[in-house]
Amino acid sequence: MERLVRDCFRTGGYVFAKKADEHGLSRIARLASNENPEVPSPKAQAAAKKALGKANRYPDERVDVLINALRAHYGDYSFVTGVGMDGVIETLIRTLVEPGETVAIAIPTFSFYGLAVVAQGGNVTTVSRKKNDFSLDPKQLVRAGRTAKVTILCSPNNPTGNATPVEIVSEVLDGIDGVLFLDNAYVEFSDCDYLPLMKQYDNLILGRTFSKVHSLAGLRIGYAFVPPWLVPYYQRAGTPFAVNSVSAAAAAGALTDRDHAERYIAQVKRWRKRFSDEVKYPVMPSDANFVMVDVSPDTGDQMVEKLLKHGVVVRSCRSFAGLPDHYIRVSIGEDWENKLFIKAMNGL
Ligand SMILES: *Cc1c(COP(=O)(O)O)cnc(C)c1O
């Protein structure tokens, strides 16, 4: 019966981080998925528990509790929500891209964009970042974006860590024909503020998530700043009740705990510097809560195996199209995890 499955799902798919506890180690540094190592804020947990007690009812389809919390936090913007930012991306592609239409993607980057486009019957055009520092040539992205329905740029970029300056993003927005999806999963760790662009452009979407700085990866909740024209169409295209009431309540609660986010942002800034000062391999400059490390002459896969033996789980960058195979990506975790990583790396 497998012959019934669509061609695009016969091979490939999302590559998940290694599972740690398969290796019989007691204490494992989990530095592969860019999560905040701190458990969710007590405010998020209390709100989630309260919502759980009413989970016999379907959630509010407008997700008002979260939309209102986002407005209280950021101001008067239009938002959409989804099952993680991944869910937002999926629904946006479904809303905007007809089968056979094109999406332009700057690579190397997060792999889910391409998977979501192909699953919808769209075509992907890739634009390579510069080889030396992985910065973006806006003219190349504009050239591809002139014939694309959607252009996708990740800033700060996963896995390279660097952010694209606001002026360069403006240049892309001015030049392309369709919509720019700017993935801001890690923006809280950078010094870039793309929000003023929302008021200037009606073709910009800023994707955000509660999975990273807000410690809610397990609850799968994402959102995006969108131009107001998009909201009713996104709602029509999306799965009904996609965002569950417990996650929405937790996310709204998390937004009210600024200290929780600030603590991890400070930790990230401290350790980004220590990683680049102390690790004996070249560490790429990062605006995110992870760094990419050049581990040549090893491959990324080889280094992942070596570090696992020391109880450190990191991500090989082999599966990122457009990147040589000698990089790993390492999240910034708790002090003991970061120290264990540095010790293991420098002892190899
Ligand atoms: C983690 C991540 C996301 C999505 O996260 P969700 O858990 O689906 O909200 C999106 N984009 C990038 C670049 C990421 O690293």
Q: What number does the ligand 1 atom closest to the CA of 212 have?
A: 1
Cα 207 to ligand 1 centroid, rounded to whole Å: 9
Helix ranges (H only) for 152-257 are 166-175, 195-200, 231-237, 245-255
Ligand 1 pocket mutation, candidates 16, 80, 83, 85, criterion most atoms within 8 A of CB: 85
Pocket test for ligand 1, best of 112, 157, 219 (most atoms within 8 A of CB): 112
> Which DSSP string corresponds to 47-74?
HHHHHHTTTTSPPPTT-HHHHHHHHHHH
Ligand 1 atom nearest to 220, measured from its CA: 7
Substitution candidate for ligand 1 out of 105, 181, 183, 290 with most atoms within 8 A of CB? 183
Which residue's CA is the closest to the ligand 1 atom numbered 6? 84
Q: Where are the domains of the chain?
A: 2-39+258-347, 42-255
**Which position has the token pair 């993607």?**
105
CATH homologous superfamily of 2-39+258-347 equals Aspartate Aminotransferase, domain 1 (3.90.1150.10)
Per cent of the chain over pLDDT 90 is: 94
Q: Looking at residues 266-278, what average pLDDT do you find?
A: 98
Task: Summarize the confidence of residues 100-117 as an average pLDDT.
Answer: 97
Task: Specify the amino acid at residue 285.
Answer: P
pLDDT digits (tens, 9 = 90+) for 211-236: 999 999 999 999 999 999 999 999 99
pTM for this prediction: 0.96
Given a cut of 80, whether residue 23 has pLDDT beyond it is: no
pLDDT the model gives residue 39: 98
Q: How many CB atoms lie within 10 A of CB 348?
A: 12
Distance, in Å, from the CA atom of 69 to the CA atom of 73, rounded to the nearest integer, reads 6
Q: What is the pLDDT of residues 303-327, one digit of tens each?
A: 999 999 999 999 999 999 999 999 9
Residue 183 in contact with ligand 1 by CB distance below 6 A: yes
What's the start-to-end Cα distance of the chain, in Å? 49
What is the C-alpha separation between 124 and 103, in angstroms, rounded? 5
Answer whether 86 contacts ligand 1 (Cβ < 6 A). yes
Instruction: Give yes or no for residue 199 having a pLDDT over 90.
Output: yes
The pLDDT of residue 187 is 98
Please name the amino acid found at residue 22.
E
DSSP assignments along 264-330, one per residue: HHHHHHHHHHHHHHH-SS-B---SSSEEEEE-TTS-HHHHHHHHHHTTEE-EE-TTSTTS-S-EEEE
CATH class, domain 42-255, is: alpha beta
Ligand 1 contact, 111 CB (< 6 A): no
Give the separation between CA 8 and CA 123, rounded to whole angstroms.
12
pLDDT at position 17? 74
Confidence label for 15 from pLDDT (cuts 50, 70 and 90)? confident
Number of neighbouring beta carbons within 10 Å of residue 123: 15
User: How far does the centroid of ligand 1 lie from the alpha carbon of residue 208, in Å?
Assistant: 8
> Mean per-residue pLDDT for 136-164?
98
Q: What's the confidence (pLDDT) of residue 24?
A: 66
Helical (H) or strand (E) element with 183: strand 179-183
Question: What is the rounded average pLDDT for all residues in the chain?
Answer: 96
pLDDT at position 16 is: 79
- Burial of 153-190, coded b for 16+ CB within 10 Å and e otherwise, reads bbbbbbbbbbbbeeebbbbbbebbebbbbbbbbbbbbb
Which single residue is written with the structure tokens 């509790």? 65
Tokens of 236: 């029509």
